[in-house]
Amino acid sequence: MDTNTPDTTIRSRALRKAPSPGESYLWKHLRSRQLAGAKFRRQMPVGPYFADFACTEFRCIIEIDGSSHEAKETYDFARDEFMAKDGWKVLRFTEAQVRADLEAVLQAIACALDGE
């Protein structure tokens, strides 16, 4: 599936303009190859979904779940399964985790990039 279409580009831009507080906070520490030299992209299309953050080099996706995800377990499971079948490692963190213990979140991401 071609994910680089005008519709996905428009949607990606819109999502990047309205990040959650946790996404904004984490992005400050992922951007410009600050973590393990990995290049992350925000709101990258992956099949029919959009990853909050994706590093194509390490095939790693980071998802930040806010309160809106509490009733979406089935959707999130299907989404993670699709991405995993496509060769992506998906890491999920809550907004609360990002805000309360950023160092642990960054360490978990670094470990995933390192293959641990």
- Residue 106 maps to a domain: yes
- Residue 75 maps to a domain: yes
Closest to 59 in 3D by CA, of 78, 41, 77: 41
Number of domains present in the structure of the chain: 1
Which segments within 20-100 are labelled E, that is strand?
41-46, 49-55, 60-65, 89-94
The whole-angstrom separation of Cα 116 and Cα 112 is 5
Provide the sign of the torsion angle of the four alpha carbons 58, 49, 62, 71, taken in this order: negative
Residue 61 belongs to what domain range?
6-113
- Residue 97 maps to a domain: yes
CATH code of 58's domain: 3.40.960.10
- Residue 1 maps to a domain: no
Tens place of pLDDT per residue across the chain (116 aa): 445 677 887 877 888 887 999 999 999 999 999 999 999 999 999 999 999 999 999 999 999 998 765 668 888 999 999 999 999 999 999 999 999 999 999 999 999 999 87
**What SS3 state is found at 92?**
strand
